[in-house]
Structure 1
Amino acid sequence: MAFKVCYAYGHEGVLPGIIDEQPACRSCSGVRLNFDCRSCGAEDELYAGARCRACVLGDIVDNLLTNPATGIMATKLIPLAAPLKSLKRANSGMTWIRQKHVTAFLRNLAAAPKINHDTFDELPDSRTREYVRGLLIEHGVRPQRDAYLVRYQAWATQALERVSDPQNLDVIRRYIHWHHQRRMNLMDEVTRGTFLRAK
């Protein structure tokens, strides 16, 4: 079965039949199979419960982003749910979202008291975290932030923890904050080169 253009009629959709050895739609071929999604009505290959993959994916997203304590989705997560539900290839979206680490991340996010950059920073560092953060920024839920400045601040915290001598610690802390970080704070955007040189 293909999802292309009907040889006989030009219908674009599910083509379960064959006419003159070419794929054909239900109307032209007389094949009596149901390919209409029970939820949205779209003609598509049905995935589960007479529903298309896009509708099943939508339910998975709603479930993962609903706070288990309240039973509702936080208002600020609704703009995140929309692009996740409308991924161009719903089957790829389901494969991605059903990975244990992605599922766990979205459940943690749904239960978080606030949806801000600090909340994200407290969650385990991963590509999933940054991908979801990027979606929130792209859709205006969170403001853009200077990624290299944030990375420098995280590096500086760890670097200071490695200094054991109190006198050296004071000097290094001042150098980190008053020389490098103050200069970065005045920049429109911290470049990768500036970040690496400061480290």
Structure 2
Amino acid sequence: MSRLRLPDRCARCNQTGARIATTWPEGRTCRRCYQRATRIHGICPGCGDDRLLPGLIDGQPGCADCAGIPKDFHCTRCGREDEPVRTGLCAHCCLIDDLTDLFDDTTGQTNPTLAPLFDALTQQAHARSARVWLSKNPHATKLIRDLARGIIPLEHATFTKHSDPRKVAFLRELCIEHGLLESVHLDIEHFQIWVNTKTEVLEPNDGRLVKQFARWVHLNRMQRLAPPAS
């Protein structure tokens, strides 16, 4: 009769049944604890160097060398010591690869019109968050690819007439922020869209009256109070 196998227990959080990512000197380590540990940077209490601190030294985060972790966490491309994301590359280098492909104008080069946005995204400090945003927003990534290839024009109407404008609203704001699109008063535009949406379900005469009131009273006031678009 085979022995009953006990569920894996993480040596760090003491949780059982968690997905084990690796085995370090203190024992088996779950995926969550591994990710948390490989994102801590600071001064190692063992050697005094400013490094990635995935290990534990007397219960405190320490560098891999001082904690006895037999793994090199340096990115194989840029040398940054960080959590390895893909084939030995850090999140920042993976983000650059992802965006280079996304912004390709079909000639192997970044579309020059979109270069300010490409530079802003690749130079930001939060590469992991940017990669998560890209992976969770297929509408935005498709729009970037289509813009880069010249399939659709870079103009406000491309965003406002999108099948789901909300899914690409943040991308539009980035384009405005980095000078790819002229500034507009988005709050006024959002109000107009909201009014149109709400009045679609009303009787035609009622809808017309509500729109007139919204335009004459609220919209005019918003336009008077709005600062000039830069």
TM range (shorter): 0.5 to 0.7
Q: How does 1:63-74 map to 2 (within 5 A)?
A: 63-67=101-105, 69-74=106-111
Contact 2:159 2:165 survives alignment (8 Å): no
- Asked if 1:7 corresponds to 2:42, the answer is no
Matched residue, 2:226: 189
Partner secondary structure for residue 51 of structure 2:
strand
Matched residue, 1:197: none
Offset, 1:151: 4.0
Structure that is richer in helix per residue: 1
TM-score, structure 1 normalization: 0.67
- Asked if 1:134 corresponds to 2:169, the answer is no
Q: How does 1:95-106 map to 2 (within 5 A)?
A: 95-99=132-136, 102-106=137-141
| Equivalent of 2:182 in 143, 159, 164 | 143
Higher relative contact order at CA 8 Å, sep ≥6: structure 1 or structure 2? Answer: 1
| Equivalent of 1:117 in 150, 156, 165 | 156
Partner secondary structure for residue 92 of structure 2:
helix
Give the distance between the partners of 2:126 and 2:63, measured in 1 at CA.
Answer: 22
Question: Which range is displaced more, 147-156 or 69-78?
Answer: 147-156
- Asked if 1:34 corresponds to 2:69, the answer is no
TM-score, structure 2 normalization: 0.59
Offset, 1:5: 2.0
Q: Which amino acid aligns with 1:124?
A: S
Matched residue, 1:93: 130
Contact 1:65 1:107 survives alignment (8 Å): no
Q: Which amino acid aligns with 1:51?
A: L
Give the distance between the partners of 1:28 and 1:157, measured in 2 at CA.
Answer: 63
| CA-atom RMSD in angstroms | 4.0
Contact 1:74 1:110 survives alignment (8 Å): no
Give the distance between the partners of 1:40 and 1:92, measured in 2 at CA.
Answer: 19
Give the distance between the partners of 1:17 and 1:151, measured in 2 at CA.
Answer: 49
Unaligned stretches of 5+ residues in structure 2: 1-36
What is the count of residue pairs matched by the alignment? 184
Offset, 1:121: 1.6
The alignment-based identity, stated in percent, is 26
Offset, 1:110: 2.7
- Asked if 1:60 corresponds to 2:72, the answer is no
Offset, 1:37: 0.7
Superposed CA offset, 1:62-115 (max 9, x none): 222334x5554322322222333345433332222112xx22322223323422
Matched residue, 1:193: none
Unaligned stretches of 5+ residues in structure 1: 166-170, 191-199
Question: Which range is displaced more, 16-25 or 127-136?
Answer: 16-25
